[in-house]
């Protein structure tokens, strides 16, 4: 049986740091308040007058350089982003062109913070079908473009960044993507949304004045759903594959809130020394958070390590994936 494996990974984060002390000069907050509630000390911000594609292009170029894959060998690019450069064309098409790729197709998906595992499952299906052999999944998020830096509830949470993985086939038993469970429930619309700018509420002076072009989040509802749904989906994929917490080398959760991560790990029986975390210095980078965390920890990952990836985002959209590391 052919499985899909991650055979390369690369990332990019902007140089500019926005730490909690700097935020305290912009909005009524402080380091203790932010650290205690969400576990974030700083985040990276892309101050350049460019879109998410800028970071995606750098991440993909780094991936191509590190793997040695020729540009004309890329069969498909899947871009996961909640911050596209434009309503259209797709951000994937901009990254594809910006990297000088000369073959293959490219498209966007929108699964918010669950974007990486959703895109990786798409790539897994293409690989297993035999349709494509070289697929790039790129996740790029300029979250700062949708954040109101006068809203103390949301502005400490988010940062910018991008990461890309190369997905290729393997016939080695037990390697690569083994299984995934994905869910969606439209009840999340009221609790995590950008109300303005779409066809439901096109841009007007009123939508602008009402702040509908910033991210809105009902933190209490999102926290409750995120803990429950990331936990249950992780346990489901583990049960389906006869895995216990002892079998798992690492749990890699979406980096939204350290309290959420700790609650999921505790309820799943996974000690925190087996949970990969980088939220302290990256914040929530939405779809890019899991691959960013993977890239920054690839030096400790070994072939055969059994990993559980889990994420929760707007929609609500959530799920978990069982991946055996093969790099």
* Cβ burial 78-110 (10 Å sphere, 16+ → b, else e): bbbbbbbbeeeebbbbbbbeebebeebebebbb
Which residue among the candidates 3, 254, 278, 293 is catalytic per the annotation? Answer: 254
- Is residue 284 flagged as an active site residue? yes
Is 139 considered catalytic here? Answer: no
Told to judge if 225 belongs to the known catalytic residues of this protein, a careful annotator would answer no
Instruction: Give the start-end residues of each E strand in the chain.
Output: 3-12, 17-19, 42-44, 76-80, 105-109, 135-142, 160-170, 176-184, 192-193, 216-217, 250-253, 306-313, 317-324
Per-residue tokens: 175: 């390697």
Residue 311 and residue 294 in contact, taking contact as beta carbons nearer than 8 Å: no
- Among 79, 99, 113, 293, the one annotated catalytic: 113
β-sheet with 176-184: strand ranges across: 176-184, 317-324, 306-313, 250-253
Q: Alpha helix locations (H) across 99-189?
A: 115-129
C-beta of residue 3 within 8 angstroms of C-beta of residue 170: yes
Structure tokens at 294: 């993977």
Catalytic residue among 20, 124, 278, 284: 284
190: which 2 tokens? 């009221």
Residues composing the chain = 327
Residues belonging to the active site: 113, 254, 284
């Amino acid at each position: 049986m052919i499985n899909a494996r991650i055979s390369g990974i690369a990332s990019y984060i902007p140089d500019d740091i926005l730490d909690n002390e700097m935020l305290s000069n912009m909005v009524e907050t402080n380091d203790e308040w932010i650290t205690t509630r969400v576990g974030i000390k700083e985040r990276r911000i892309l101050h350049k007058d460019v879109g998410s594609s800028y970071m995606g292009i750098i991440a993909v170029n780094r991936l191509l350089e590190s793997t040695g894959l020729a540009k004309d060998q890329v069969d498909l690019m899947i871009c996961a982003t909640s911050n596209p450069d434009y309503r259209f064309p797709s951000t994937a098409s901009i990254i594809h062109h910006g990297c000088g790729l000369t073959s293959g197709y490219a498209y966007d998906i929108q699964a918010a913070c669950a974007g990486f595992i959703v895109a990786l499952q798409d790539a897994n299906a293409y690989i297993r079908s035999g349709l494509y052999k070289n697929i790039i999944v790129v996740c790029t998020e300029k979250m700062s473009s949708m954040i109101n830096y006068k809203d103390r509830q949301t502005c400490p949470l988010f940062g910018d960044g991008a990461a890309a993985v190369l997905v290729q086939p393997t016939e080695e038993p037990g390697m690569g993507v083994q299984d995934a469970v994905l869910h969606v429930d439209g009840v999340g619309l009221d609790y995590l949304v950008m109300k303005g700018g779409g066809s439901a509420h096109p841009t007007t002076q009123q939508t602008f004045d009402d702040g509908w072009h910033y991210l809105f989040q009902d933190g209490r509802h999102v926290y409750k759903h995120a803990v429950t749904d990331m936990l249950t989906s992780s346990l489901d994929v583990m049960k389906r594959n006869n895995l216990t917490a002892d079998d798992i080398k690492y749990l890699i959760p979406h980096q939204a809130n350290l309290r959420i991560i700790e609650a999921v790990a505790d309820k799943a029986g996974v000690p925190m020394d087996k949970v990969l975390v980088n939220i302290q210095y990256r914040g929530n980078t939405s779809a890019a958070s899991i691959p960013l965390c993977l890239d920054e920890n690839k030096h400790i990952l070994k072939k055969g390590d059994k990993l559980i990836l889990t994420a929760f985002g707007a929609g609500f959209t959530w799920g978990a994936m069982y991946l055996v590391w093969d790099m």
